[in-house]
Amino acid sequence: MTAGTVLITIGRLPKALDFARAFHARGWRVVVAEPFRSHLTGASNTVARSRVTPAPSAGKAAYLEALLEIVTREGVDLVLPLSEETMHVAHLRDRLPAGVHLYAPPVDQLLALHDKETFATLAAGRGLTVPRTAALGSAAAEALALSNDYVVKPALSCSGRGIAFGAAGTPPRPASADARQIVQQRIRGQHFSTFSIAHAGQVATTVVYRGLVMSGTVAVAFERVEHPAIQAWVEDFVAKTRHTGFISFDFIVDEDGCPQAIECNPRVTSGVHFIETQDLAAATLEPTAAPPRLRAARWMQQFYPTLTETQSSVFDPVRFGPNLKALTKARDVTWDASDPWPFISMPVTAFQIIAASIRQGRSFGEVSTADISWFEGAT
């Protein structure tokens, strides 16, 4: 596509800042739509305008109408959802004005990947390794729990919300108030995550990474690693599903070295920070573009959450040393000397999330996605 106006439909997360900078560098005018009036990407000198929308959690219809109004008023050429709001924004596909492109797969494909039960069925049906998974309350789930340690979690969730563990032989019970939950075989091993950009079943790039510092179940500092078996799994899945767009996975590599995909996230995850920012726009828009380059840095961090976790672990001899090492060694994902204000102003622009996290006693990751996530019964 030739340069025009891109509408990024989230602004509070560092991944949005990466794409704003990337598209601006390619000559695009960048507009951000965000329920929060103050947000990280809005402080960037690469953003022409920020527009406030209702939160999807308050009603999908109002959210979509607001986006359509922005598309018309701002002369948008490309709508680019990046995070959990993608499942909502995808419903714009048949409503956008002629000539406006939406970078997201069809809704039915997205939801089948986002849903942990249907994703496991989809992957297993294509011969790929996933833990045994069944709907809570089903005979299959009861049988699974008799012979395996297991995890109970919502079929639709993010940021590690609503997870409970059970021992083999104990009956599985609901882990949260969510209407639909799954029972999944608990795999022991190392946890890895991925981020990929794909075009028509071909992977343009995949980043494999693992958490170094955790805020709840969400990594705020991470390390890029090489793992050929995981890379091959991702390429196989993308080829067999003919996927186009962003796609990410969480894996447990078991004792035999076999990667087991525990869930799919059809969106951008923190692995994007290991890709050279200026290459992201071409990797997204041009299927024939050269593969995007990876940054030299293998350790990246979200500085302020990592600082918080390091401070809170001062009296924990197991966590403090590794946390301090990550804090002092890892490169921050937002800092750019030519665009310094997103980093400098983050304590202010993220205040709404920080305050809610403290008030609700929930992790930063949970709070930052609570109003944009797609849960059961979203309307």
> Tell me: the pLDDT tens digits for 70-127?
999 999 999 999 999 999 999 999 999 999 999 999 999 999 999 999 999 999 999 9
Residue 350 has pLDDT above 90, yes or no: no
The Cα–Cα gap between 201 and 242 comes to 4
Positive or negative torsion for Cα 177, 183, 187, 191:
negative
* Tokens 């008030």 belong to residue: 359
Positive or negative torsion for Cα 152, 155, 156, 159:
positive
Instruction: Return the minimum-mean-pLDDT range out of 70-84, 174-188, 266-280, 314-328.
Output: 174-188
3-state secondary structure of 37: coil
Residue 139 CB: number of other CB atoms within 10 A? 9
Residue 377 has pLDDT above 70, yes or no: no
Q: pTM of the entire structure?
A: 0.94
Give the residue among 173, 185, 175, 192 at the shortest CA–CA distance from 124.
Answer: 185
The Cα–Cα gap between 201 and 113 comes to 15
**What single string gives the DSSP state of each residue in 89-157?**
HGGGTTTSPTT-EE-S--HHHHHHHHSHHHHHHHHHHTT-----EEETTSHHHHHHHHHS-EEEEESS-
Q: What is the pLDDT of residue 379?
A: 47
Same fold across 1-104+345-379 and 190-334: no
Beta bridge partners, 332, equal 301
pLDDT bucket at 11, cuts 50 / 70 / 90: very high
Q: Are 220 and 299 in contact (CB under 8 A)?
A: no
Beta bridge partners, 102, equal 79
Domain positions in the chain are 1-104+345-379, 132-185, 190-334
Q: Are 332 and 302 in contact (CB under 8 A)?
A: yes
- Quick one: CATH architecture of 190-334? 2-Layer Sandwich (3.30)
CATH topology of domain 1-104+345-379: Rossmann fold (3.40.50)
Mean residue pLDDT of the chain comes to 94
Three state DSSP letters for 261-323:
EEEEECCCCHHHHHECHHHHHHHHHCCCCCCCCECCCCEEECHHHHHHHHHHCCCCCCCHHHH
Q: Are 281 and 28 in contact (CB under 8 A)?
A: yes
